[in-house]
Structures are given as C-alpha cells and as structure tokens.
Amino acid sequence: MNLSANKPTKAFWLIGIIALFWNIMGVMAYLMQAFITDEAKALLPEPEQAYYNGIPVWVTAAFAIAVFSGLLGCIALLLKRKIAYLLFIISLITVIIQFIYNFFIQEFMDVSGFSKIIMPIIVMLIAFFLVWYSKECIKKGWLFK
C-alpha cells in the first residue's frame, strides 16, 4: 500500500488542531468543575450550588471519560491512528449520558433556557461530528494501525 497516496489534506490538520483545542477546553471545564472550592460554589446562585452539590459520581465519571477520551481521540487523530474512532465513540456515549442527566434527571437547575441548552447541543454535535469524521478518515486511508 502506498501511504503517500493517502496523505491527509490541510483541512484534516486544521480540523484535528481545532478539535484538540476544543477538547483541551473540555478538560479544563472538567477540572474546574471537579475541583471547585466551597468558596467558589458559595458565589454561585442557589440553583447552581444545588446542582453542583447534587451531581452523582457516575455523572462526574461520564464527564471525565468524555473529555479525556475526546482529548486522546484528537491526539490519536493527529497521529493518524485508527483508535481515534473508538475514542470518539466512547466520548460521544459519555456526552449522551451527561446530556440525559442534565436534561431529564437532575432537578436543581432549569436547563430549558436558550443559553443553558445551546452549549450542550454544540458539545453533542461536535462529538457526533468527530465520530463521523474519524470514520471518514479511516475510509480515506488517512488513519492506520
């Protein structure tokens, strides 16, 4: 097989780098939430305080798995490894778990407002896109091993 014929485009590298930065921001958001101090929580409105105090361990675990598998997926994508696809699937599944908790289970915060629903939808769309895109990259022969 001639690997030079399957050379990724500039768009591949641009998408990969943007996705990497996106997932780094996700890791930072997770770390801020996981390590929020009681003093910082006290500054939040009461519904948000109740939300952060009531997050089950399994939701926090889903958040961690989502962001770290997404980050590793981006690194694998940029290293042109097929495992990126699996990592993005794991990330997507755990994003969906978080979405279900935030919109259908938790009762602490109203998440029906436009500003509260737009970011989770963007996160989910990007997660779906990265699964699809990594699969397309495999089909094009840009990802191997």
Phi, psi (rounded to 5 degrees) for 48: -70, -35
Alpha helices in 7-102 (DSSP H): 10-34, 38-42, 46-54, 57-78, 83-100
59-89 pLDDT, tens digit per residue, is: 999 999 999 999 999 999 999 999 999 999 9
Q: Tell me how far apart the terminal alpha carbons of the chain are, to the nearest angstrom.
A: 13
35-57 pLDDT, tens digit per residue, is: 999 999 999 888 888 888 889 99
Asked if residue 15 lies in contact with residue 133, where contact means CB atoms within 8 angstroms, the answer is yes
